[in-house]
Amino acid sequence: MNKTSEPACNEATFVGNRLAGCLDLLGPDKKSLRQKFLIGEPRACAAGSAEDMKRRGYVGIYQKERTVTFRIPQTNLLLHKAW
């Protein structure tokens, strides 16, 4: 993690890039992306570099809470814990 990034918006909490215009649309749970996630700088992805994504009007969305996944040994059971 570089020193210029915010502690709440690091690689571990990155969800994806979305168009800035769709952040206020309501989903089936009656919440918008702006209410559920933190908004920050876009990241590089298969569609282009971070600068290209920013020029196209994309923003990065990040989880508000850090999620840790635990796997129980010798099973396929996964436990997800939000901190």
* Domain edges within the chain: 11-82
Which one is predicted more confidently, 3 or 46? 46
Give 28-80 pLDDT, tens digit per residue: 999 999 998 889 999 998 888 999 999 999 999 998 876 678 888 888 888 87
Residue 45: burial class (beta carbons within 10 Å; 0-12, 13-18, 19+)? middle
Q: How far apart are the first and last CA of the chain?
A: 19
* pTM of the entire predicted model: 0.63
Q: Looking at residue 78, what is its pLDDT?
A: 84
